[in-house]
Amino acid sequence: MPERPVLGIDCFAAATHAPGIGRFGRELVRAWLRADEIPVDLRLLEAGTGGRVLASWRDAVEGAGVRRAPLGHRRVPAPRRATDLFARALGVERLVGGCDAFLRARPFAPVCGHAPTLWPVSQWPSSERPGEDDAVARERFVAELAANDHLLVFAEAARARLIEAFDIDASRVHAIGVGAEHWRRDEEPRDAPAAPRTVLVLGAVERRRWPEAVLEAFEDLVGRGVAERLLFVGRRGAGADAFARRLGFSSARARVEWIDAPVEADLPDIVARAALLVHVGVGEATPVTPLEALAFGVPAVVSDAPEMREALGDAVGYLDEPRERRRGGVLAELCAAELERDDTDARARRRATAERFTWDEVARAVAGVVARVAR
């Protein structure tokens, strides 16, 4: 092992995919380059073809206050299938220029020759594919866990669940926290929501996120006169068709908008102007989405999960899992309560909650993992 360990990163998703694993990769690199000193070096592998949300990696670090020397970056403009075959034969270390650990953006590829793999776990298994039940979803999830040497999670509660519920050796699971300040670079928080008063839902429209229940709750909020617009921002997922059918019969359908091809640059303004974020459902293993809203002081209602409680405390409203036919009504009550208690002081407290979660801390946590597992 060299004097300074090297972390290789599959950064194709970071260059091509705005949310989720893409944002994680971009913000991790930004923070790494901002740091005064992290005793681990980075080498990025951008292997694949397709449209990019970044023209170059210079875009990823522009204005980030870079203090470190340029990182290693290898771009391979070939199909991912070809680079995966190369990695399977010779190890991804040859493509990236050598590394002591490799952070994947896909659970099963590329294959490493000797370096241990790191895989971030951001979602618990849930049946979203047509004809798939929970047992099949769990089986696929367990296979993803087994395919990687070390697992990165975004909360201590998630670490405990992997160890206890999925029988993962504790030495393989590392809690690294999460960052929430990325959109604050582009937009200032507001002391009050913009008009019209908008209930915002971020993320793909999936069955597991209960979009029909959100719509039912919004209809109630319109009747109370406390909300005027419902905005979904996310691609069409497995729940899109059922939601569209339900929307066709909604008394509030004229007040509902859906941006199914989000533009990353528009999101800071969209979130900052919202009156309320609703982030409910099953399967979330990271609190990053509600933290993004809290960073602007925006109220939020989230599902009552340990990962959310750990990060958000009493800064949000919590929805348990009531019976399906009561979910929308319970959610409406929670939303109304959060809207009612929104004021300048409450917004300041929410921002203070989010400010504890920085990408600089995540970068240092990941570097600590690399230093321990590199060989």
pLDDT in tens, 227-284: 999 999 999 998 899 999 999 999 999 999 999 999 888 999 999 999 999 999 999 9
DSSP-derived letter for residue 182 is G
For residue 316, pLDDT over 90 is answered with yes
Local confidence band at 59 (pLDDT 50, 70, 90 cut-offs): low
Mean pLDDT computed over every residue of the chain: 90
Nearest to 301 by CA among 327, 325, 332: 332
Gap between the Cα atoms of 103 and 160, Å rounded: 21
Sheet with 72-76, strands from edge to edge, namely 72-76, 41-47, 6-10, 101-103, 117-120, 150-153, 173-175
* Global confidence as pTM: 0.93
Contact call for residues 334 and 317 (beta carbons, < 8 A): yes
pLDDT digits (tens, 9 = 90+) for 86-143: 999 999 999 999 999 999 999 999 999 999 999 999 999 986 665 667 788 899 999 9
The neighbouring-strand residues paired with 233 are 202, 259
Contact call for residues 206 and 239 (beta carbons, < 8 A): yes
Gap between the Cα atoms of 72 and 57, Å rounded: 11
The most distant pair of C-alpha atoms in the chain lies apart, rounded to whole Å, by 65
Which DSSP string corresponds to 255-286?
Answer: GEEEESS--GGGHHHHHHH-SEEEE-SS-B--
Q: Is 95 exposed, middle or buried (0-12, 13-18, 19+ CB in 10 A)?
A: buried
Q: How many CB atoms lie within 10 A of CB 257?
A: 11
Gap between the Cα atoms of 115 and 102, Å rounded: 6
Gap between the Cα atoms of 20 and 367, Å rounded: 20
Nearest to 229 by CA among 190, 275, 191: 275
Lowest mean pLDDT among 67-81, 102-116, 180-194: 67-81
Can you list the domains of the chain with their CATH numbers?
Answer: 6-179+358-373 (3.40.50.2000), 182-354 (3.40.50.2000)
Cis peptide upstream of residue 189 (ω within 30 degrees of 0): no
pLDDT digits (tens, 9 = 90+) for 4-34: 899 999 988 887 877 888 899 999 998 888 8
Contact call for residues 32 and 4 (beta carbons, < 8 A): no
Give CA separation, 364 vs 33, 34, 161, 174, in Å: 11, 11, 23, 12
Antiparallel, parallel or unpaired: β 300-303 and 150-153: unpaired
**Polymer length in residues for the chain:** 375
Sheet with 198-202, strands from edge to edge, namely 256-259, 229-233, 198-202, 276-279, 300-303, 317-319
For residue 36, pLDDT over 80 is answered with no
Helix (H, G, I), strand (E, B) or coil at 122: coil
Local confidence band at 35 (pLDDT 50, 70, 90 cut-offs): confident
List CB contacts of 364: < 8 A, sequence separation 6 or more: 35, 38
Local confidence band at 38 (pLDDT 50, 70, 90 cut-offs): confident
Lowest mean pLDDT among 61-75, 91-105, 138-152: 61-75
Gap between the Cα atoms of 305 and 124, Å rounded: 11
Local confidence band at 318 (pLDDT 50, 70, 90 cut-offs): very high
Determine what percent of the chain falls in helix, strand and coil, rounding each to the nearest 5: 45, 15, 40
